[in-house]
Amino acid sequence: MPSQLRVRLEHAARPFRQASRTAKVLVAVGLLITLVFTLAAFVGPEFHEYDGIQYRVEQEDGSYEQLPRLAPPSSEHLLGTTRDRYDVFARILDGGRLALAVVLFSTLIAMLIGVPLGLLSGYRGGKLDRALVTVMDALYVFPPLLLAIIVAFLLQAYLAQGVPSAAAAVGVVYIPQYFRVVRNHTLSVKQEPYVEAARSLGAKQHTIISRYVAFNVIQSVPVIFTLNAADAVLTLASLGFLGLGVQPPTPEWGYDISQAVIDITSGVWWTALWPGLAIVTLVTALTLVGEGLNDVINPLLRARGMSGAKLDDDAVSTAGGAARDGEGTLAPTADGDHGDDAPGGGP
pLDDT in tens, 126-153: 899 999 999 999 988 888 888 998 888 8
Which residue range is the domain that position 346 belongs to? Answer: 310-347
Same domain, 112 and 228: yes
Give percent above pLDDT 90 in the chain: 41
Q: Which residues contact 275 (CB under 8 A, 6 or more apart)?
A: 88, 91, 92, 95, 253, 254, 256, 257, 260
pTM: 0.79
Q: Would residue 23 count as lying in a domain?
A: no
User: Mean pLDDT across the stretch 36-44?
Assistant: 92
Of 279, 185, 276, residue with least CA distance to 224: 185
Same domain, 228 and 341: no
Same domain, 255 and 329: no
Q: What is the pLDDT of residues 323-335, one digit of tens each?
A: 444 444 444 444 4
Helix (H) or strand (E) holding 128: helix 126-141
Query: Is pLDDT larger for residue 64 or for residue 62?
Result: 64
Q: What pLDDT was estimated at residue 300?
A: 59
Helix, strand, or coil (residue 40)? helix
- CATH number for the domain including 136? 1.10.3720.10
Same domain, 195 and 340: no
User: Mean pLDDT across the stretch 265-281?
Assistant: 93
Q: Would residue 67 count as lying in a domain?
A: yes
Q: Would residue 12 count as lying in a domain?
A: no
Q: What pLDDT was estimated at residue 301?
A: 56
Same domain, 314 and 212: no
Distance CA 7, CA 189 (A): 25
Beta bridge partners, 56, equal: 66
User: Mean pLDDT across the stretch 164-184?
Assistant: 91
User: For residues 240 and 246, is the Cβ–Cβ distance under 8 A?
Assistant: yes
By mean pLDDT, which of 41-55, 193-207, 258-272 is the weakest? 193-207
Our CA angle for 299, 286, 50, nearest 5°, is: 160
Same domain, 58 and 199: yes
Q: What pLDDT was estimated at residue 325?
A: 47
Q: What pLDDT was estimated at residue 332?
A: 43
Q: What pLDDT was estimated at residue 35?
A: 95
Same domain, 205 and 322: no
Q: Would residue 25 count as lying in a domain?
A: no
Q: Would residue 94 count as lying in a domain?
A: yes
Distance CA 203, CA 245 (A): 47
Q: Would residue 42 count as lying in a domain?
A: no
| 346 — pLDDT class (breaks 50, 70, 90) | very low
Distance of CA 22 to the CA centre of its chain: 19
| 11 — pLDDT class (breaks 50, 70, 90) | low
Q: Is the peptide bond before 249 cis (omega within 30 degrees of 0)?
A: yes
Same domain, 338 and 225: no
Q: Would residue 11 count as lying in a domain?
A: no
Same domain, 146 and 253: yes
User: Mean pLDDT across the stretch 199-217?
Assistant: 84
Distance CA 283, CA 291 (A): 12
Same domain, 334 and 188: no
Q: Would residue 171 count as lying in a domain?
A: yes
Q: How many domains does the chain have?
A: 2
Distance CA 175, CA 110 (A): 4
